[in-house]
Structure 1
Amino acid sequence: MELRHLQHFVAVAEDQHFTRAAERLMVSQSGLSASIRALERELRAPLFVRTTRRVTLTEAGRALLVEAERILAQVRSAHEAVAAVQGVLRGTLALGAEQCIAGVHVAGLLAAFRREHPDVEIRLRQSGSGALAEGVSAGRLDLAFAYRVPADGDQLRSVPLTSEPMTVLCHPEHRLAALGAVPDPAALAGEVFVDFHPDWGPRRATDAAFAAAGVRRTVALEVNDVHSLLDLVDENLGIAVVPRHFRHKRTSLTALPLKGVDEAAYETVALLPPERATSPAARALITLLGTPETEPGEAE
């Protein structure tokens, strides 16, 4: 099995199209098809279901994709480690981050990294915490800034960033605005909620807080960006339970402390793979962050 076969396979799996993958790899479509056929012959299993519009992975293909991504990430790390020993940091830094993550100024951090390591290509992916953790585990991302969930410590190392309480945001004319503080999640029963998709850190923190309090809630207005959430609350279409730092993003809204929940309900971390799989670029970024790493299971 050749590395180029795995590289070709991953590209087709990502693009779900042979022509687009061939263009990205700068190889001929016939050569790419031959490479995939050679891999399928060696593994004695079809890897893709081919149609006229796109290709999708078979069960065997999905199994191979996980391992292929890890192998290619390790090969890349090996090349970068040798370059680092020679005094030059090269290669790629693949970083994931949630939108408006607390505890780190991502743009400023990446600017400082580029000044120190101009030969490293930076790639940034924004997504929910679950998808980011999966990306780090699979080797697609070198590290990610995300919401901390207990399962993270089972496979990934964590660098604590910050923790903060949850806050209720509402329109100044909403009935809650006069309270000064919300006593507990039960006081919000029956409210219309605006929130993010379930994979987002703030949504996970809010769901966990309400579940711990034994209070059911329904998210009627679900969004995938911070500004849409604030706009909906600003129009008095619902309330939102968000990390405390969100209150500074729209000062026209009323921010109320949410009592009766864990004061450190929203915790953010940098997620990294095991030490042996951590790229030199990821280590350099964490050094700039200036926070010590913890082994799996340490940071709770």
Structure 2
Amino acid sequence: MELRHLQHFVAVAEDQHFTRAAERLMVSQSGLSASIRALERELRAPLFVRTTRRVTLTEAGRALLAEAERILAQVRAAHEAVAAVQGVVRGTLAVGTEQCIAGVHVAGLLAAFRRRHPDVEIRLRQSGSGALAEEVAAGRLDLAFAYRTQADSDQLRSAPLACEPMYVLCHPDHRLADAAAALTPADVSDEVFVDFHPDWGPRRATDAAFAVAGARRTVALEVNDVHSLLDLVDENLGIAVVPRHFRHKREALTALPLKGTGEVVYETVALLPPPEATSPAARALMALLDAEGG
């Protein structure tokens, strides 16, 4: 099995189209098709279902994709490790993050990294914490900044970034704005809620807090970005439960502590593969983060 066959297979799987994959790889479409056929003959299984508009993975193709991505990530890491021994950090740094993650200023960190390591190509993906964890474990991301979603495993480890309590955010004219003390989930469970999609860290922390308190709520307004959430609360269309640092993003809104949630907090981490699989670029980024934090 040749590496170029795996590279061609992954490209077709990502683009779901032979012509687009061939253009991206800068190879002929006939050569790409021949490469895929050779791989299918070697594995004795069809990898794609071909139609006139696109191609989709077969069950065998889906099984191969995860392993192929992991193998290619390991090969890339090997090249970068040799370069690092020679005193050069180069290659690609693929970073994932949630929006407005606590404990790290992602844009500033990446800018500082680029100044120190101009030969490294930086790629950034924004997504929910669950998806980011899967991307790091599969080798598609070098590291990610996310909400802690699981314990460390053989494929994933975490480095703590920040830990914050949750706050209720509401319009100054909302009835809750006059509360003289912290609120509990039971106090607000009947309100109209604005919140993020279920894979987002703040949503996961809020769901966990209400579950611990035995309170139920309904999310009526679901968004996928911070500014939309703040705009909806600012128009008094609902309330939100958010990490503490969100309260500084819209000073006109009222922020009240949420209590009665047991040990549930908003905890952010850097998600990384095992040490032996961590790329030199990812190690350099974490070293820079540690230095800035110190």
Tell me which interval the TM-score lies in, with the shorter structure as reference length.
over 0.9
1 CA distance for matches of 2:122 and 2:75? Answer: 18
**Is the 1:185–1:213 contact (alpha carbons within 8 Å) kept by the matching residues of 2?**
yes
| CA drift at 1:263 | 6.1
**Is the 1:170–1:236 contact (alpha carbons within 8 Å) kept by the matching residues of 2?**
yes
- For residues 123-162 of structure 1, the aligned pairs below 5 Å read 123-153=123-153, 155-162=155-162
**Closer, same or farther in 2 for the Cα pair 1:109/1:265, shift >3 Å?**
same
1:258-300 alpha-carbon deviations (Å, 9 max, x no partner): 1112466100000000111100000000100117xxxxxxxxx
- For residues 270-289 of structure 1, the aligned pairs below 5 Å read 270-289=270-289
1:184-212 alpha-carbon deviations (Å, 9 max, x no partner): 10111211110000000000000011111
Match of 1:66 in 2: 66
1 CA distance for matches of 2:22 and 2:4? Answer: 13
| CA drift at 1:154 | 6.0
2 CA distance for matches of 1:248 and 1:232? Answer: 16
State the TM-score, normalized to the length of structure 2.
Answer: 0.96
Match of 1:227 in 2: 227
- For residues 87-106 of structure 1, the aligned pairs below 5 Å read 87-106=87-106
Q: What letter matches 2:46 in structure 1?
A: P
2 CA distance for matches of 1:204 and 1:264? Answer: 10
**Closer, same or farther in 2 for the Cα pair 1:43/1:250, shift >3 Å?**
same
1:233-270 alpha-carbon deviations (Å, 9 max, x no partner): 11111100000100111111111111112466100000
2 CA distance for matches of 1:246 and 1:17? Answer: 42
**Is the 2:205–2:264 contact (alpha carbons within 8 Å) kept by the matching residues of 1?**
no
Secondary structure of 2:199's partner? coil
Q: What letter matches 1:33 in structure 2?
A: S
1 CA distance for matches of 2:12 and 2:279? Answer: 25
**Is the 1:181–1:258 contact (alpha carbons within 8 Å) kept by the matching residues of 2?**
no
- For residues 158-173 of structure 1, the aligned pairs below 5 Å read 158-173=158-173
**Closer, same or farther in 2 for the Cα pair 1:181/1:61, shift >3 Å?**
farther
**Is the 2:10–2:68 contact (alpha carbons within 8 Å) kept by the matching residues of 1?**
yes
2 CA distance for matches of 1:271 and 1:285? Answer: 12
| CA drift at 1:56 | 1.1
**Is the 1:159–1:271 contact (alpha carbons within 8 Å) kept by the matching residues of 2?**
yes
The percent identity for this pair of structures is 86
State the TM-score, normalized to the length of structure 1.
Answer: 0.94
Match of 2:39 in 1: 39
Q: What letter matches 1:127 in structure 2?
A: S
Match of 1:255 in 2: 255
Structure 1 gaps of 5+ residues are: 292-300
Match of 2:78 in 1: 78
**Is the 2:74–2:277 contact (alpha carbons within 8 Å) kept by the matching residues of 1?**
yes
2 CA distance for matches of 1:113 and 1:221? Answer: 37
RMSD between aligned residues: 1.2
Secondary structure of 2:63's partner? helix
Match of 2:213 in 1: 213
**Closer, same or farther in 2 for the Cα pair 1:258/1:153, shift >3 Å?**
farther
Match of 1:269 in 2: 269
Secondary structure of 1:20's partner? helix
1:153-181 alpha-carbon deviations (Å, 9 max, x no partner): 56411110000000111111111000044
2 CA distance for matches of 1:176 and 1:144? Answer: 36
2 CA distance for matches of 1:262 and 1:219? Answer: 22
Match of 1:184 in 2: 184
| CA drift at 1:182 | 3.7
**Between 94-103 and 147-156, the greater mean CA deviation after superposition:** 147-156
2 CA distance for matches of 1:203 and 1:136? Answer: 21
Length, aligned pairs only:
291
2 CA distance for matches of 1:86 and 1:266? Answer: 40
**Closer, same or farther in 2 for the Cα pair 1:140/1:31, shift >3 Å?**
same
Secondary structure of 1:290's partner? helix
**Between 135-144 and 155-164, the greater mean CA deviation after superposition:** 155-164
